[in-house]
A and B are shown apart, each in its own frame.
Chain A
């Protein structure tokens, strides 16, 4: 859970740059975003209180109850070694949310400075950074992650890094194009003429004025990362079993598709709900922060 709380802390200073009431009111007017926020708060609650609310130990095997369909004792049934699916789903929420948030933070930490540097310096630095990003994008995301994970091994941190590394390309490109337009504005030119240091120019003047699409993209990125984590777990490359994740639960569901089809619904629906919630919130943020971005992100 430590990852989750650091994630929240890291989000706060950025959010406080906005006139809170205004953007929050706008967001709350956006019905789908409200739905998304409710689902996200619910899943955060589930993740935080997993040890309290889950009926069983998610790793506890029970060979008397293998592949049971949903019942009163096991509301979502049991898996092939008799583990309670409800409890595994609840604990899986922790992994998915943590990986989702962490990946996006890592993506921003890698992508944003690269984008700002490229826009600020231009010339060969820009060309080099952009070709590097092109190269990164020329490797299919899943292959890139697989490669990184085989090198680093599977843990929450490494999975998040692998996914965040992939997601950072979009962040770099977005912030670069925004920063390029900031570079042309009078206030930036004025600051530069006054002899403000390059570092301050980039991170005090350029960054805050180009950050909006990054925030929108980050919100959508959480969804992509959760999908990515599930895909990697499904291939056996994610967070190492027996730790329950939605992805490896689906992998087991696939193995037992004919005998226990009920296993595929809980993790699948959980993924869809959470991913769709983040995209609703992202859409809402985009409409509130900058409607002109509609259709571009």
Chain B
């Protein structure tokens, strides 16, 4: 078990290094010269010498591998550099914006898990009834919905026609709970329904498979009440593939959060990354990518741990 963990941790570190090197390299071939975001649009007023001086200040004149190791050694000790656009420390920008993204992503995840698993289980238990048909076909449609179109529909219905919920503006839940929830409902739904649909399909098929297993028959032959058969015996055994999907879902949610943040004007790191990308703001892009990558890597690690928690066959392997 410890060996397994150390092994996975080692892999995670390798993956982290590869991601950082890949993104670092890719940024250097961006057509946009970072000098423009450093000095602003009126770079005409600078002489080549001045430009060279500025580049040297930012370490942009060094060979690429040297730049990478400079960045990496600073990054691991928490010095994430200053934004090219406004000179602010990247860590401070992240501190301010990350909570919004976390609030968005967690809400979407909760919606996905709660709606997805519950409807999936109910659909499996009521297989071939109209409830199953409704749940299954809604999930099919939801999977084909682009998040932003769903967001448009939600905005149109709940904000424009019914005028129930605000479109713009956002708050953090521990600062202004009421407004935070009001303003987050639509983004949570827009981002969460895709996950709910995926999880619904997975938990339905996995539940159906488990309910046909021999040990379910054994439980019934013991006189276990059906409710307990479902919750205690079937659900836990059905969760393994569901957890896999959930782990993969984190990446989708982070990606989807970018569009949702732009649409709902949520000041999170997704929105920040769009601006940073168009301005070739290397330190910000690196920071955002690294945070996303870490979130995904950690999610994968947690998935592995959850596996072994759920399934003793893996734990003792």
Contact = CB atoms under 8 A, between A and B. Distances in A.
Direct contact of A and B (CB under 8 A): yes
Interface stretch (B17-25, B51-59, B77-85, B306-314): B17-25
Interface in B208-253: 209, 241, 251-252
Interface residues of A, number: 42
Contacts of B145: 272
Contacts of A264: 149, 152-153, 156
A227 interface: yes
Contacts, number: 139
Interface string B127-143: 00000000000001101
Interface string A137-173: 1111111001110110100000000000000000000
B31 A139 contact: no
A231 interface: yes
Interface stretch (A192-200, A201-209, A249-257): A249-257
Prevailing SS type, chain A contact patch: helix
Interface string B34-70: 0000000000000000000000000000000000000
B22 A135 contact: yes
Interface in A109-154: 131-132, 134-143, 146-148, 150-151, 153
Nearest to A135: B18
B146 A142 contact: no
Contact of A235 (B32, B202, B262): B262
B144 interface: yes
Contact of A257 (B147, B155, B277): B155
A268 B152 contact: yes
Contacts of A140: 251-252, 254-255, 258, 292, 296
A136 B292 CA distance: 12
A275 interface: yes
Nearest to B262: A235
B15 A223 contact: no
A138 B15 contact: yes
Interface string B247-273: 000011011101100110000000001
A17 interface: no
Contacts of A235: 258-259, 262, 274
A97 interface: no
B29 interface: yes
Nearest to A251: B148
A185 interface: no
A46 interface: no
30 contacts: A131-B11, A131-B14, A134-B18, A135-B19, A138-B15, A138-B297, A140-B292, A141-B255, A143-B273, A143-B289, A146-B258, A147-B23, A147-B277, A147-B289, A150-B30, A151-B29, A231-B148, A231-B259, A234-B148, A235-B274, A250-B146, A257-B155, A257-B156, A267-B149, A268-B152, A271-B144, A272-B144, A272-B145, A273-B144, A275-B144
Interface of A: 131-132, 134-143, 146-148, 150-151, 153, 223, 227, 230-231, 234-235, 250, 253-254, 257-258, 261, 264, 267-268, 271-273, 275-276, 279-280, 294-295
Given A131-B11, A234-B146, A268-B146, 7 more contacts: A134-B11, A138-B15, A139-B293, A231-B147, A250-B152, A264-B149, A275-B143
